[in-house]
């Protein structure tokens, strides 16, 4: 449900930006801003369409992969902290 709302909001952003673009005019800072803004809106639409079309199997696999990456990242941080603590406090006698 929330991805449908996000998709509608991103689509509304695209429709809001289109009349403000000057496609035939010179490249000014304002036009560059609009093109970047429009690019992010199109990216948001694509990401939300991808999530809405994703199968339940694929979604569960994605959650599993994200969880495994988070655990690996946490393990790396705790290992680094343990290595630092093993050497004692540096610079103090």
Question: Could you tell me which residues come within 8 angstroms of residue 17 by beta carbon, excluding any fewer than 6 positions away?
Answer: 34, 37, 38, 41
Q: What tokens does 67 get?
A: 């969880």
State residue 41's pLDDT score.
Answer: 87
Tokens, residue 5: 């709302």
48 and 79 housed in the same domain: no
22 and 7 share a domain?
yes
Do 5 and 47 sit in the same domain of this protein?
Answer: yes
Q: Please enumerate in sequence order all residues whose Cβ is within 8 A of that of 80, keeping only pairs 6 or more positions apart, or say none.
A: none
Q: What is the pLDDT of residues 2-26, one digit of tens each?
A: 888 988 988 888 888 777 777 766 7
- Are residue 62 and residue 42 in the same domain, yes or no? no
Mean pLDDT of 53-64: 91
Q: Which pLDDT score is estimated for 13?
A: 82
Count of structural domains within the chain: 2
Residue from 53, 57, 55 nearest 45 by CA: 53
Residue 48 CB neighbours (<10 A): 20
Give the pTM. 0.56
């Amino acid at each position: 449900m929330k991805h449908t709302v996000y998709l509608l909001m991103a689509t509304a952003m695209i429709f809001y930006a289109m009349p403000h673009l000057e496609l035939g005019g010179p490249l000014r800072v304002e036009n560059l801003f609009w093109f970047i803004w429009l690019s992010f809106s199109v990216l948001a639409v694509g990401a939300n369409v991808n999530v809405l079309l994703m199968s339940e199997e694929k979604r569960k696999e994605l959650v599993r992969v994200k969880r495994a990456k988070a655990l690996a990242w946490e393990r790396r941080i705790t290992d680094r902290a343990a290595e630092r603590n093993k050497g004692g406090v540096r610079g103090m006698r």
